[in-house]
Structure 1
Amino acid sequence: MRHYDLLPEKGWEVDVDAVETLADENTAAMVIINPGNPCGNVCSYEHLNKVAETARKLGILVIAGEAYDNLTFGSTPYVPMRVFGLTVPILTMGSISKRWIVPGWRLWWLVTSDPNGILQKSGVIDSITGFLNISSDPTTFIQAAIPQILENTKEDFF
């Protein structure tokens, strides 16, 4: 694991030049957290496109942590990383605990955005499925509550 810097003078954007410098033949993915915490940054469409193009150039996937996906401030509109799935495979992680304000539930989901099927062909999907078949460990009362939470949350909540 290697860490890249964020650029405070550019609104905490990813230093994509540093990502290219850090990457080598063992690099499989890069992780981006958007919206960011604790900085509160929201990446622009243009910047996320640069991230996707950099990942494509390096032949790696992007893991997008989007727990705060609809809790943004400021004038930059939130753009989910998945819109760049045609450019590069994307694994997105989201959380019910932030969006629905239920801290401590620790219930996450994982979504792939990969219309070209690269993750399936490479065995990544099978590996994830195999792991989750062994242990996903959500609390059962949370599992039972999810359908009602998703169906009954009014749009004005967001």
Structure 2
Amino acid sequence: MKNGSWSVGSSDAVDITISAKTVNKEHAVVKYYNEKYYVTDMNSKNKTTIIRGDNKINVVELEQLLPNDIIYIGRKKFSLSILIKLINEFEGSKIETDEDYGVDKQDVTPAMEEKVLKDEIPLIRRVRCFDCSTVLNIDYGCYLCGSNKHKERTK
């Protein structure tokens, strides 16, 4: 993967959209530089937090992400591998996976869970628009051409 950065938030204007009340419109930025991933919070109300082992890191400045980190964007939790999959989808890479977009419950220990408020696992599902091939959230119509055909075919 080449170096880059991707905005994360609840707005349609960001690169990776997370539909949740606890996620700000422009919540965080994920960066890839010199074969390492980083995250920074964009002064969001509900913050960006990393759980690393038994340590809680409140992201203020650019923070490197490690493979076993649990990343909270607001109250939505992700593993690094899931963020990478979302980035690859945004970049148009084909991804073949049966996984939900979230963190498996066994990856989060009770000690970790106590450090951040409980919330359901995010189920962000992306599809391609049948008319123009734009990558979009399955729950919304295509923002580029306005088509809703993907909704009819996924019912």
TM-score by structure 1 length? 0.33
Greater RCO, 1 or 2 (C-alpha within 8 Å, sep 6+): 1
Higher strand share: 2
Normalising to structure 2: TM-score of the pair? 0.34
Greater fraction helix:
1
Largest Rg, 1 or 2:
1
